[in-house]
Amino acid sequence: MSRWMTVFAIIVICLALFVVVVAVRSEPVDITFEWDSYTGIGLAGYNLYQSQVESTYAFGPGCEIAKIHADSTGYVLPGVESDSTYYWVLTAYDKWGNESGPSNECSNDKTAPAVPSGFSCR
């Protein structure tokens, strides 16, 4: 095989690998969050926290991934990697700087549900 044919073969293989890597890479998705409106006094807004470990968050100023206006009952988080699992919680904060505890946790985890148990027929 000539030197040029070898170089050409290597280029073709590299291009094929590049196409495979690009094809396998997932596209980012938007995640939409919704919650009930708060009717209390002094609400200043909401903080959205994210983690890649279930039930493990760093809370406090600068740890939130989004600060959301008090009038909102929803938020769209753009550009989330669809091939990674993330967990989120929401907190409320008031005009005096107090922050609530976290909401229930939600996730983009696509793990299959557990096998049903106790199934029978008679």
Q: Encode pLDDT of 22-54 as tens digits.
A: 445 679 999 999 999 888 889 999 999 999 999
Does any domain span residue 115? no
- Report how far residue 105's alpha carbon sits from residue 90's, in angstroms, rounded to the nearest whole number: 8
Is the pLDDT reported for residue 4 higher than 70? no
- Report how far residue 4's alpha carbon sits from residue 7's, in angstroms, rounded to the nearest whole number: 5
Structural domain including 65 reads 27-107
- Report how far residue 112's alpha carbon sits from residue 56's, in angstroms, rounded to the nearest whole number: 22
Does any domain span residue 85? yes
Is the pLDDT reported for residue 112 higher than 90? no
3-state secondary structure of 63: coil
The answer, as to whether pTM is greater than 0.85, is no
Does any domain span residue 16? no
Does any domain span residue 3? no
Does any domain span residue 120? no
CATH (domain of 34): 2.60.40.10
Mean pLDDT of the chain: 84
Does any domain span residue 88? yes
Q: Which helix (H) or strand (E) holds 12?
A: helix 3-24
Distance of CA 101 to the CA centre of its chain: 20
Number of domain units in the chain: 1
Does any domain span residue 112? no
- Report how far residue 26's alpha carbon sits from residue 22's, in angstroms, rounded to the nearest whole number: 8
